[in-house]
Structures are given as structure tokens and as C-alpha cells.
A and B are shown apart, each in its own frame.
Chain A
Amino acid sequence: MASFPQKLQSILDTFDLFPDPADRTNLLLSYADQFREVPPDVATRPFGKSHQVPQCESDAYVWAMKMPDGTLKLHFAVENPSGVSAKALATILDRSLSGLPADQIAQVDSSIVERIFRQNISMGKGMGLMSMVEAVRALARTAIANR
């Protein structure tokens, strides 16, 4: 089984504790409710196309800002008001990956989407959510390349 950064592993373990779809729904909603949009000092509308997550019907955007200590801080925007799943995943990625060096973020693979969402992954959402993870990884790889 793949190893994940500690905070992400902890979140995945928490989801594993809730096999019941209704419980997982509530957990995902609690993350979605805590979603905070990218602050204006990082990006303002209209958001740049280069930050848009491909294949995401929730119209999600992602930024990775390099911090003074060399780690990355992730920011997201989700333009579709019905993008509940995207907001939940954005919160989880921010909580678990922000503050890590780019090398560790680049190692996270998109299989976490299935572990987090399980039955709550809908037909059209899966590809978009996995694309969010891939977009984060791509930004981390860019940060590594630009060192």
C-alpha cells in the first residue's frame, strides 16, 4: 500500500473508520463547509486558465505558492456552486499537503480520491477529482523544476 504524508494518512484513516455511506457523506460535507477560497492577494477573478483543473466540471482552480521555508501553500477556487465534492477535496488537500516540501506533494497519487469518496464518487466526478490531485502534483513538479 502506498505511504502518504502524515496528515493525509490521518485523514484517510479517519475516512476508513466510516464504512457507512451516510456517515462518509456527512464527513465530506463537513470538509466542504470548511472550504476557503483563494485569497485576493494570490488570485482574483477572472482566474487564469493556466490554473484551471482540466476535466473538472466543478470549474476548479488551484495555485501553489512557495513559502519562505521552501514548502508550498495550496489555494483553490471552485466556481460551480454545486461543486460540493470539489470543495471537500480542496479542503482535504490544503489541510494535508500545505506546508510540505514540493517533493512530498509530487509523490501523492490520485488513488486517494477513491479512498476518500468511495460510494460517494459519482460517475462524472471521479475524473475531475483525480484531475485536481494531478493538478496539485503538476504544480509541485514545476516548483521542483524551478528550484
Chain B
Amino acid sequence: MTPAIEQKGYTHPEVLASTDWVAEHARDAGVRLIESNEDTLLYASGHVPGAVHVDWTSDLNDQVRRDYITRESFEQLMSRIGATPDTTVVFYGDKNNWWACYAFWVFQLFGHTRAKVMDGGRIKWEKENRPLTRDVPAYSRTDYKAPDRHDQPHRAFRDDVLKHMQARGQLVDVRSPEEYAGTRMHMPDYPNEGALRGGHIPGAKSIPWARAINPEDGTFKPAADLRKIYCDEKRLSPSEATIAYCRIGERSSHTWFALKYLLGFGEVRNYDGSWTEWGNMVGVPIEK
């Protein structure tokens, strides 16, 4: 049986919500439950009652530039889902909360810190035979005002990564071991979305993102187990600046979440340019 979140030894247990908590609070006035998936059909096929849908491509990504939405677009999104700055947003989704953590991360770029992730995501909710509905809830529109997007504390750009690499800073490559080794140019079973070279950023340590998860129910492993992986086995120091990356920054937002909130790493950033940028960039070294 999975222990209660408060008993798992996390630095910031408040960023996780249990399925019990969600069942009780999903429709509270100050709570907005948000489902974010990779599979665009999943929400429509059935979601936790009260949840709204936020799609990672159409809602969170700029449709022209390779970037995230602007402040104005974020305000529109939050107004559409009926959120205010005081609303606690609770994310969950498929793939062991991979996309939920990604959405959580994007929300932090706009300083919406009243945010949680439902531990275990869809898989745990479904395994517990909790209800799903196709009814799309209607919430009164709000007039959300957001600050300008502030990337720096959470997001690393290529020049940041280059300097960090040259200074031998901590880098975590969360892709599969084959992608890290350069023997595979894309995720197993996924299309090749095009990096010219295979390998990893010099000095990066290979820690596939899913090692943080209990595969049977999608919950995060307890802090002691996470510490064994990241700190004991891979020798990462919580007091040193750390940058995580993957292919486009989605898997690494999951690791970013685990390092920052569950293990209390002081300075963690997600490099969303990741391998689709680094593996194609002129003039930067790689390692195999």
C-alpha cells in the first residue's frame, strides 16, 4: 500500500494531492482540477468529475514561435477555466503525470504557485475505480491578471546550458539510456522528430525520468528512495545548481518537479530546448 504523502519525507509535500484529497475537494470553489495528457482523446473519453482540460500543444505552446504562451494568452487560459490568482490548480494526467508536471512547470513561469499535482495521476484514479465522466464542467469566466512570464528561475536556455556545462555544473539527462548513449535518436516507439546527432550534453548524468515513479500506481517514490537514486547512486548534490533536459522538455519537467519539490534541490531548471535543440546546434560539443 502506498504511504500517505505526508509520510513520504518530501521537502514540499504540499505540492502533491492524494486521490482521496481530490475526490473530496475537486469541486471546491478555490480549487480547479486540470487534466493534461499526451493523448488528446483521453479527457473527452472520461475525466475526473469537475476537471477542465488543458492541452499542452494548443493551450501552453505558442503556435508560431518555439516558446510558451504569452502573458496575455495565459490570462485568457486562466480566465477561460475560471481561475483567479487565489485558485489552487491541481494537475493530473496520463503517462504517470508526465504532462501534468509539464503544465505545472509552465504555470510556474507565470508565478501561479498555488499548484499541486495529483500523485499517481490518471492511472491511480482509474485503478482505484473512481468515477470518470464525459460531462465538461462550466465555470464562470474570470478576469485573471498574470504577471509577465518570468522564465529565469525555472527555465534554462541554450546559452545557460553551455555556460553550465563549461563550469561542470550538474546536468541530468532524463531520456532513455539508448538515447543518452546515442544509439537511438528518439524515444522507443516514438517517431524520430529529428536531431542530427545522437548522444548527450557533455557531463550529463543519465537518470531516466520514470525511475522516480512507482510503476504499479504512478505515484512518486518516497523521498528516501529518490535520494538513493539521485544523490547516492548518481552523486547529485541538492545544494548545487542543476539543469534537467530530455527531448523537448516534457519528461524533464517531471524530474524538475521531483528534484525541486520532493527532494528540495535549491536551484533546478528545465532546459526545454533539450536534445532537439542541442543535438542540432552548430558549434556545441556532444558526448556519446
Q: Which of B41, B122, B187, B189 contacts A120 (CB under 8 A)? A: B41
Q: Interface extent on B, as a size class?
A: 10 to 19
Contact status A127-B126, CB under 8 Å: no
B21 touches A (CB below 8 Å) = no
Contact status B39-A122, CB under 8 Å: yes
A78 touches B (CB below 8 Å) = no
Q: Which of A78-132 contact B (CB under 8 A)?
A: 81-82, 84-85, 88, 119-128
A-B contact count (CB 8 A): 52
Minimum CB–CB distance for B217 against chain A, Å? 14
Contact status A123-B40, CB under 8 Å: no
Contact status B189-A85, CB under 8 Å: no
Render B9-53 as a binary contact track against A, CB cut-off 8 A, 1 for contact.
Answer: 000000000000000000000000000011111101100000000
Minimum CB–CB distance for B119 against chain A, Å? 18
B75 touches A (CB below 8 Å) = no
Bound-state Cα–Cα, A58 to B38, Å = 13
Contacts of A122 in B (CB 8 A): 37-40
Nearest CB in chain B to that of A125: its residue? B39
Contact status B191-A127, CB under 8 Å: yes
Sampled A-B contacts (16; CB under 8 Å): A25-B41, A28-B41, A29-B45, A32-B41, A57-B189, A82-B123, A85-B41, A122-B37, A122-B38, A122-B40, A123-B38, A124-B39, A125-B39, A127-B189, A127-B190, A128-B189
Q: Which 3 residue pairs are nearest across A and B when measured between Cβ atoms?
A: A84-B45, A55-B189, A84-B41
